[in-house]
Amino acid sequence: MDLLVFFIFAGCVTMSSAVTCYTCQEDVPFDQEKGVFDVTDCSAPSQNNVDTDTECTGTCLTMISLRTSTYGVTRGVTRGVTRSCLDEESPSLIPSQCDTGCTNLFVGRLDCRQCCDSDFCNNAAVDDVIKENRMGQTCYECRHSEIPYIGNFNPSCGLAFDPEGTDLRYSFCQGLCYIAVTFIEGVEDVRRGCQTFGIGCDRANHPYREDKSVSIASLDYDMKCCLGSLCNRGRSDGSAMIMSILAFFLGQFLALAL
């Protein structure tokens, strides 16, 4: 009889060994005017503002997805967040959900999954996860052109860059930030933005290319890429990037003069 009571008690203890997980889901677009994803209850949860599952007998999950959509020349990124319990009633799902880390599923989507097994453990701030796992960075996205009539006269984006300019926008970049400069008969044209996956960023350093310029909308630019959020600010008051660009064009001018 005592042995039977022991087994019943042990079974009750086993059944009650549950953890408490945060549960929420959201999709938030990147704000191209502010240069951030908005901080929400689900992106940085606490016990006061997010629902919980107090009877999770599996593992707590945080899943972050970044989805890129392109509409004409406009590229937007949406951040999805899901916090939930992966229950032991579906044990076959746990390895597939937890053992993947951060994966680039296909072009335009990146997923990151984290699992844990203690109360309220799936509370990692989304911005921290994105930064730690190098899921993307923020770039200035703008153009300044002195070419008449094309509608991109924006001195804040030019070589005399002004980060406080009113017409600057931002992009969330799954690649490298860039600044591209060209002069057409002394007319300045500057672009700043994101090169997805760093495509085209190696041309300037390619040892076998005589023409190291990059063609954008039928214009040839000298382009420099960089790693780090807002690294393509390229201030003209000391930025190594801008100094190298000016040195390049000065060399071109002197060569023609000689």
Give dist(CA 234, CA 155) in Å, integer. 13
CB 142 within 8 A of CB 156: yes
127 and 152 within one domain: no
Return the pLDDT at 70.
Answer: 66
Return the pLDDT at 36.
Answer: 92
Return the pLDDT at 9.
Answer: 40
Residue 14 counted as domain residue = no
Return the pLDDT at 99.
Answer: 65
Q: Give the total residue count for the chain.
A: 258
CB 112 within 8 A of CB 129: yes
251 and 143 within one domain: yes
Give dist(CA 24, CA 80) in Å, integer. 11
130 and 145 within one domain: no
220 and 157 within one domain: yes
Last residue of a domain, one of 88, 116, 134: 134
Residue 162 counted as domain residue = yes
Give the pTM: 0.74
148 and 53 within one domain: no
**What residue numbers bound the domain in which 108 lies?**
19-134
Residue 197 counted as domain residue = yes
CB-based burial, 98-137: b 16+ in 10 Å, e otherwise: beeebeeeeeeebbbbbbbeeebbbbbebeebbeeeebbb
Last residue of a domain, one of 78, 108, 134: 134
Residue 199 counted as domain residue = yes
Return the pLDDT at 19.
Answer: 92
65 and 143 within one domain: no
Return the pLDDT at 151.
Answer: 78
Total domains in the fold of the chain: 2
66 and 95 within one domain: yes
99 and 27 within one domain: yes
163 and 97 within one domain: no
109 and 145 within one domain: no
186 and 97 within one domain: no
**Residues of the chain falling short of pLDDT 50:** 1, 3-16, 72-73, 236-242, 244-245, 248
125 and 30 within one domain: yes
Last residue of a domain, one of 71, 106, 134: 134
Residue 233 is classified by DSSP as G
